Structure 1
Amino acid sequence: MATTIALLPNQDPTLVDAVERAGGELAELTAASGLVWTAGPDDFPDPLPDNVEWVQLFSAGIEEFFTAGVVDANPRVQFTSATGTFAPTVAEHALALLLAGVRAIPEHLFADTWRQQEFFPKVGTLRGSTVAIIGAGGIGRALIPMLAPLGARVVAVNRSGRPVPGAIETLPVTRLDEVWSRTDHVVIAAPATPATKHLLGAAELAQLKPTSWVINVARGSLVDTDAVVEALEANQIGGVGLDVTDPEPLPDGHPLWTLPNAIVTPHDSNPPQRRVAAFADRVAENVARFAAGEDLIAKVDPVAGY
């Protein structure tokens, strides 16, 4: 008998196909054992029918579902996020921001005269550098092999300290304080939780090198924006590449828009045209696992908050 799956609130044909090729059968929510939810928390069905045992969320970052009480309100239901689904494209964006910063591309773009001698001290290379990846999950694991051909070494930081393939060293988050002073550049890819709010602030920025670039492709709340602006204005670090900001959207007139050592992209590291196709692969994999009674990918930990 096929596993019954509700697909709400939108039934994109690509996702319909993903459910069916995994052996699932589309059903109404009141008759489904699983739910693939393609929107945010605002219209999430509350309460969930007792027949629903598993919910697949479309987002990798699911802090809004915790804030709304969706996950905590349903302890009997297994939730899975889209963590790792979009990792390759986000890692690619992180690399682009890092390379652009290290090579002083933003300042070159706005130059209107030949300033070779002025630019020479600002132009660096990733070759021989150490890049710290804070939150070395799916994005970090995708980024490491992108950095390797460029000659960069990676120090990975994750919650457990369990070794990450390709990293020269993996540290548990409890040893994060050791990282700042020994790295050349930082990529932040950790989940947003109360424990990670302002993970990078004035004290951490003060330990970085004056040539260090900080890249954030996680959530804006992980970085103290005011502290970053002060560090940039004082040329305390090399610069920042931010695909996410706090506040978000970043208001018009904010200093980050005009600082020459800041690159801001509007939370588009995961191109919209690739999202559904990438998510469909995760849906198919987890529907098949759910039907077979196997462990699901990216299970949400209500205690950890992601």
Structure 2
Amino acid sequence: MLAFSKGLRQAYRFQEKREWQFEALTQKRFDLEGRTVAIIGLGSIGLRVARLAKAFDMRVIGTINAPRKLAYVDKVYPSTKLNECLKQADFVVLSTPVTEKTFHLIGKTEFSLMKPTSYIINIGRGKLIDETALIKALLSKKIAGAALDVFESEPLPQDSPLWEMENVSITPHFSGMADNLWEKVAARFCENAIRFKVGKRLIGAVSLEKGY
């Protein structure tokens, strides 16, 4: 969101050329304060995004299967009210798992509901978005841009039009990586081993029935 609001992609390109382009970079820039971010999937990752968004005084809305009051979220919608969120959002962040119900959750119809000035950010799973519909939405300016860490096919094919789009940021499915990642994984494993031994509920247990 910061990269889009401050035009960092363009700034990096000017830096590579050693060009001081103040006027070019200050056009169409905007503040995150007061903007609305819709987080689709208010689980642990979605709530972390909500907390960070609130640090910039953004309005935070989102969806969850069982609506309830959540910290850092101004308005919580049931998952069935996805369209209501899309209509309001300046940024749409996808952080929900892929199931039979969420496959191609965002497609042609959903893009048509979004503001032409809005951006979509996918840190969930690639198959949440109909990639063909996304490309068409970007080319026709139905939305302003996209930040994608996950894709329907990975690695992203070299002939994908997404590679050459100025308003698209691409990263290789690494948004969860950090220098202390494996320390956290080991700590979680040890905690769950203790919980399993004493019969307590495991942290992060997967529901085979739900699919996540």
Query: TM exceeds 0.5?
Result: yes
Please give the residue correspondences for 1:114-263 in structure 2 after superposition, counting only pairs within 5 Å: 119-263=25-169
**2 CA distance for matches of 1:132 and 1:195?**
19
- Matching residue of 1:300: 206
Answer yes or no: is 1:277 the counterpart of 2:180: no
Higher radius of gyration, 1 or 2: 1
Q: Which is worse superposed, 166-175 or 288-297?
A: 288-297
What secondary structure does 2:180 align onto? Answer: helix
- Matching residue of 1:102: 5
**Contact map agreement 1:162 1:172 (CA 8 A) in 2:** no
TM score, norm. by length of structure 2? 0.91
**Contact map agreement 1:216 1:243 (CA 8 A) in 2:** yes
| Residue type of the alignment partner of 2:55 | P
Structure 1: unaligned runs, 5 residues or longer: 1-97
Q: Note the aligned Cα RMSD (angstroms).
A: 1.7
Runs (4 or more) in structure 1 with deviation over 3 Å come to: 111-121
Structure 2: unaligned runs, 5 residues or longer: none
Q: CA deviation at 1:114?
A: 5.8
Larger RCO, structures 1/2 (Cα 8 Å, 6+ apart): 1
**2 CA distance for matches of 1:105 and 1:235?**
20
**2 CA distance for matches of 1:118 and 1:202?**
32
Give CA-to-partner distance per residue, 1:223-247, whole Å, 9 cap, x none: 1111111111122211000000112
| Residue type of the alignment partner of 2:62 | A
| Residue type of the alignment partner of 2:80 | T
Q: CA deviation at 1:121?
A: 4.5
Q: Which is worse superposed, 255-264 or 267-276?
A: 267-276
Please give the residue correspondences for 1:14-93 in structure 2 after superposition, counting only pairs within 5 Å: none
**Contact map agreement 1:101 1:240 (CA 8 A) in 2:** no
| Residue type of the alignment partner of 1:236 | K
Q: CA deviation at 1:123?
A: 1.5
Instruction: Give the fraction of aligned pairs with identical amino acids, expressed as a percent.
Output: 35
TM score, norm. by length of structure 1? 0.64
What secondary structure does 2:101 align onto? Answer: helix
**Contact map agreement 2:60 2:75 (CA 8 A) in 1:** yes
